[in-house]
Structure 1
Amino acid sequence: MIGQRTDSLRQELRETTWLERKYHRNLAWNKNRPVLGEIIDNEFYTPEFVKTKAKELKKKSLSINEFQQLQNAFLQSKENISAFFSIDNILDALVRELSGNNPECQLAAASCCCNLALGNTKTCTALAKATVPYLLATSSSINFNLVDICIWTIGNLAAGSEKAFKILYAQDCSRILVSLLQRCDLVLLPSVIYAIMHFTYIGYKYIQDSEMIDVTRAIIQRYTHYLDPNMIWLLAILSSKSTCIEYILPLLPSLVEWLHVAVKTESSDVLYTTGVVWILGNIVSETSGEAANILLNNRQYSDGEMKLLLDKLLRHQHTHLRRETLWLIGNLYNHSIPQLGGRIRALIFGLSSLRMAAFSIGASF
């Protein structure tokens, strides 16, 4: 199922990942200024500057301010990332700092890794080969700042390279991330969810069903504590696995309620909305009819409100959201329980937006 509908997810993640990672890194820097030094937003760093600092790092540890300059440089351009990797054996020097005994340098080196993982597939793969054992080893650390950065780096690596994912997966990353998801402090939860979301998405065809179920159970346990687009997209990916649907099903009433309110007030994040519609589209076709009934025969919402919901989704400015809504309607229309198919036919009768939405994405209806 996911193989047929992954393009919209891939595109949305690509469009937002760089900005999201950069935003997260700036938040982390602001939080850790006593360690990492002040941020200099208007300073411009060239590839030549990066090469100079990298050569110095090969000989000895840098100051915290110099590490900070490198971190900023990696965020400014991918050319600066390439410049760093152009220095022979530079990752050995970075690992030396990451695995050393100086907590400040460890944290600074981890932050460099996090931003280097914003590079291309080749650099992400090389970085994973060198650093994954050390990144995973921090999961049991009591230094929350270090764990936070290393887990975020794992998410960046998984997002950036399928080969990096395979390296992570071979070193038991799935079990470690699930364990963190189950027990981590709330302050670490956003980073853990970010990492698992990208890890699960990239590794969808490799991760065993039993591991997917473990992730699903763990995320359901934390659902009430924290909710953001990354969690919704993780649930969306998991909902594409038939073995996970029964565990996600209890969340449907709250997701349907959120969708009605969000669409009515037009105040929702498009990524979040798309994720919710994706989840519904995957789950409503389950054979018991429970999921479809939660959406179609919900006493909280009249037929008029349901039509309004579908109409607004079908007229949404984003093509991928219109496409997901048509997928949802199609699964309801073709439900194995005839009464449910008839129910959706009655609801969509006369919706002019239906044909318009189908035409806008090049489909027939």
Structure 2
Amino acid sequence: MIRVKEKIRYDVNVHREKNKLILLNARRGITFDENDDKNDTFTIQDVHNIALEIKKKKTITRNHLKLLKHAFLNGQEFILEFFRVQGAFDSLLHYTSSNDDALQLAAFECFCNMSLGDNKTCIKLAKLITPYLMVHINSLNFNISSISIWTLGNISDSSETACVLLQNQNFFEALVNCLKNSTCDEVIQNTFYALKLMLKTYISQLKIEILNDLLQTCLERSKTWKESFWIIYQISCRQDFALHDDHLMRHLLNSIHSDDELVDIKFLIPILRTFGNIIALDQSNNSANTFLFALKSQGPIIRHILIQNKSINLSNECAWLLGNVFNSLHINNFNDNNVINADYFEEVCSYFFV
């Protein structure tokens, strides 16, 4: 019995470690062939030795930096060991200006993995590398541009202090401009990633004007980039940013169904949440009424999406949205002379609870 318990405990730990690595690799922003490194093991001494070689400016190859970037994934202590070797960081930064494209990209990837360190590490990185990475955000080398955006996005997720340092270099404005002007899919995808993290940590400190600019950009991008709806939802979470605008409401409703193709359910989630936020912050009844009237045409479509995706439970989102609608309209009794009667209430609920 004891052996069985030990085996189960061992299997659970292995499963957790695998999931941890999957999550970590997803946040790195770069891909690699894991088979190439399946036998590689890293020690603190290995990082120390590579740091010394970089510091002494010996012949450093892409493979050296590849080993280093993988070593940084082993934990915070590996990153700290690299920092302890005086001059190694500055020398690594020097390689971001290398004429060798492969070596240059590998150096950027090292910084990307370092940005997965703790808050203190990210603040240090924000101070040291932000000006260099900001120069490369609009680089014609899309690989460098993408990894720069991804790295700064990781840093912005660490703390509000790190965001302040990034914003001193106008990082958020640079992201909005990338979203407006970039023609590279990878750059746009990474820009959405960085925007999500920056908004999550720092939205309350951003100026209303730049949020408005981002909102309009996301509305324009939403036809081809559905990630826009998550950004719109995050903007709608700001309490002092009123979004009760008929045009926005209509745009979101129309986005649920376009070109005879139903929107993916994962993008229906932020749309429903955005409706809930807009209605909750609207002091008038306009947004709630606009939404309810629109349900006459869009409600069956929403119902169809939910029926097709019964494996995903959106009951909480739907209940919260309807609660905000009826709270906004001050409905206490469905049998009185209010705008909505019990029959219509039942019809509305039928669209959302399937």
Please classify the TM superposition score into its range, dividing by the shorter chain length.
0.7 to 0.9
- Secondary structure of the residue that 1:140 maps to in structure 2? coil
* CA distance in 1: counterparts of 2:315 and 2:122, whole angstroms: 34
Q: Residues 176-325 of structure 1 correspond to what in structure 2 (within 5 A)?
A: 176-187=174-185, 188-228=187-227, 231-241=228-238, 242-246=241-245, 248-257=248-257, 268-269=265-266, 272=267, 274-285=269-280, 286=282, 287=284, 289-290=286-287, 293-294=290-291, 297-300=294-297, 322-325=315-318
RMSD: 3.7
Residue in 2 that maps onto 1:157 = 155
Residues 296 and 17 of structure 1, relative CA distance in 2, 3 Å threshold: farther
Q: Which moved more, 1:39-48 or 1:285-294?
A: 285-294
Percent of aligned positions that are identical: 25
Aligned residues of 1:232 and 1:275 also touching (Cα < 8 A): yes
**TM-score scaled by length of structure 1:** 0.73
Residues 21 and 78 of structure 1, relative CA distance in 2, 3 Å threshold: same
Q: How many residues end up aligned between the 2 structures?
A: 317
Residues 107 and 203 of structure 1, relative CA distance in 2, 3 Å threshold: same
The higher radius of gyration belongs to 2
Residue in 2 that maps onto 1:45 = 42
Q: What letter corresponds to residue 189 of structure 2 in structure 1?
A: P
**TM-score scaled by length of structure 2:** 0.75
* CA distance in 1: counterparts of 2:36 and 2:66, whole angstroms: 8
Aligned residues of 1:333 and 1:341 also touching (Cα < 8 A): no
Residues 65 and 335 of structure 1, relative CA distance in 2, 3 Å threshold: same
Q: What letter corresponds to residue 142 of structure 2 in structure 1?
A: F
2:341 is aligned with 1:335: no
Provide, for residues 197-240 of structure 1, a one-character-per-residue CA deviation record: whole Å limited to 9, x for no partner. Answer: 21122111110111111111112221122224xx3332211112
Q: Note the C-alpha offset of 1:47.
A: 2.8
Provide, for residues 51-77 of structure 1, a one-character-per-residue CA deviation record: whole Å limited to 9, x for no partner. Answer: 221222122162101111112222344
Q: Note the C-alpha offset of 1:160.
A: 1.9
Q: Note the C-alpha offset of 1:250.
A: 3.8
Q: What letter corresponds to residue 30 of structure 2 in structure 1?
A: R
* CA distance in 2: counterparts of 1:214 and 1:349, whole angstroms: 34
- Secondary structure of the residue that 1:160 maps to in structure 2? coil
Q: Note the C-alpha offset of 1:139.
A: 2.2
Provide, for residues 271-295 of structure 1, a one-character-per-residue CA deviation record: whole Å limited to 9, x for no partner. Answer: x554333212112344363565445
Q: Note the C-alpha offset of 1:97.
A: 1.7
Aligned residues of 1:252 and 1:294 also touching (Cα < 8 A): no
Q: Note the C-alpha offset of 1:21.
A: 1.4
- Secondary structure of the residue that 1:298 maps to in structure 2? helix
* CA distance in 2: counterparts of 1:102 and 1:306, whole angstroms: 52
* CA distance in 2: counterparts of 1:88 and 1:163, whole angstroms: 25
Q: What letter corresponds to residue 104 of structure 1 in structure 2?
A: A
Q: Residues 31-110 of structure 1 correspond to what in structure 2 (within 5 A)?
A: 39-60=36-57, 62-110=60-108
Structure 2, unpaired ranges of 5+: 1-19, 332-337
Structure 1, unpaired ranges of 5+: 1-13, 31-36, 355-365
